[in-house]
Structure formats: C-alpha cells, structure tokens
Amino acid sequence: MNTGPIKDLGRTFDLVADAYDAARPGYPDEVYRALSELSGVELDGATTVDVGAGTGIMTHALRARGSHVIAVDPGEAMLARLVSKAGRPNGTRVSALLADGNALPLADEVADLVTYAQSWHWLDPVASIAEARRVLRPKGAIVGCWNLNHAAQADWLAAYEARLAEEVPAYWGPAVEQWSVPPIAAAFEVIEERWIPWTRLIGIDDFLLDLRSHSYMAALSAERADEVVERQRVALRAEFPEGVLSVPMRVYLAVGR
C-alpha cells in the first residue's frame, strides 16, 4: 500500500507521539455522560468511528463504556500507541485504520457515533462532515470535543499562555485575541453545545511534557523547544515551588446531526 499522502497528514503528531501518549489528559466522565445525553446514543453497545483517534484517549474511554470503536488516524506512530493499549475491555472490539478522516474507508451507515476528539480542526470542514454523515446510521450523531486550558480562571495560566504566544510563532490558543473553538457548530442545523469545567492536578514536569506534545511545539527546532520549555519551567517553579499545578480546564463539547 502506498501510504505517502497518509504519512504527510500524520507527520505533525507522529513527531511528538511519545510526549502525547505520556502527558495529554483524558476527558472527564461528565463528557461521556453529556455526549450520550445530547446525542441520544447509549454508549454501551454503540458502534463509534473515532476520527483522529491519535493515541486512543477517547477510543479507550469509549470502549471502557461498552462501545465498539473503529479508530481512524493517518499518524502511524500515534496509532501504534493506540493499538498497543488495545486489550479487550468488556468484550468490546477496536479496529485501527491508518486513513484520512476526509475519505473514510468504511461502508455507508455502519456507525451510531462519529467522534472528533481534539481533531476536527485538522480535517477539511466540509469533506469530513459529509463523510461522517455517510457512515452514520439515520439516528446517529457527530461529536466534536476539545479539552482546553481555561486561562481566564488563573493568572498564572494566563501568563503561561502569554509567554507561549510571545515565543512560539505557530502558537494558537487563548492568548491570541482571535482564538476561538473550532467552528464545528456551523456545520449543523441542529447542534447541542456544552462547556464542561474540570481541574487537572499535575506535576510541573508532566505539564511541560504535555506542552511538548502540541503541534505548535513540534514546529520548532529541538533546541528552540528546549529553550521554551526551560523558560516555562523556571517561571512555574518560582510560582509553585512544591512542583504541583492545579490547572483549570474546560471541555467544549458539540453534538450535531
């Protein structure tokens, strides 16, 4: 199989797959409750296509709740980490497809849910939704969610984001005035949206490993990324000498039909 174009799509995150796997947070339980409530789809027994599944954060959480998941991602290194964790909780099935979410290698009407956890903004906004609609059964739903630092809730976090905006050319986040959540809501006539706040307790070292897993950091040279991380480490250590952060987070959840 010629995986050239697929490799190109998956390159960014494959560069930081280890950091991603080690340090990115999961989604709080409330996200799965709300997702089921807003979509009207019972997760237990549902078939879900998880597009941009990456290392499997949402894939495995859905499986733990009884869903059969088809994970789709063009990143070989990301998908390899997903597969390495693919035991069989509760007898659920997982298939991992190295593929482009804009052209799903799936038959029509095979799924109850299509999820984009932190991923829809990497796809074509029109082709991706057309594909999701094609593979969904008539009562199925499309779900987008993003796990975000809630910088407005803590001065130290706002300062951290501001330093990134200053130092990292490709940075895109709450410290940029024009920043907003990806416009997935615009793709639907019927859309339910919810913001779900939560708090992440994490050591500074792991928080900075998470930083390294962002695409804007992957765009830097290794030396420059080290400098950015070290500057953040010094600032965070000065403010939190005990080395633990309580990070205000919020998940933006959008469910459309």
Q: Tell me which residues touch ligand SAM (CB under 6 A).
A: 9-10, 13, 24, 51-54, 57-58, 72-75, 78, 100-102, 117-119, 122-123
Minimum distance between the CB of residue 239 and ligand SAM, rounded to whole angstroms?
A: 27
Minimum distance between the CB of residue 97 and ligand SAM, rounded to whole angstroms?
A: 10
| 121, two tokens | 């903004």
Q: CB-side exposure of 58: number of CA atoms within 13 Å?
A: 30
Contacts of 128 (CB under 8 A, 6+ apart): 51, 101, 102, 116, 120
Query: By beta-carbon distance, which residue lies closest to ligand SAM?
Result: 54
In this complex, which beta carbon is closest to ligand SAM, that of residue 26 or of residue 89?
26
Minimum distance between the CB of residue 234 and ligand SAM, rounded to whole angstroms?
A: 27
Cβ distance 74 to 100 under 8 Å? yes
Minimum distance between the CB of residue 99 and ligand SAM, rounded to whole angstroms?
A: 7
Residue located via tokens 């639907």 = 188
In this complex, which beta carbon is closest to ligand SAM, that of residue 43 or of residue 123?
123
Residue located via tokens 């597969």 = 83
In this complex, which beta carbon is closest to ligand SAM, that of residue 207 or of residue 244?
207
Minimum distance between the CB of residue 238 and ligand SAM, rounded to whole angstroms?
A: 30
| 50, two tokens | 């998880």
- Of 173, 207, 139, 193, which Cα lies nearest the Cα of 31? 193
Q: Which amino acid is at 211?
A: L
Minimum distance between the CB of residue 155 and ligand SAM, rounded to whole angstroms?
A: 27
- The CA distance from 145 to 193, in Å, is 10
In this complex, which beta carbon is closest to ligand SAM, that of residue 25 or of residue 156?
25
Cβ distance 180 to 153 under 8 Å? no
- The CA distance from 170 to 225, in Å, is 12
In this complex, which beta carbon is closest to ligand SAM, that of residue 74 or of residue 256?
74
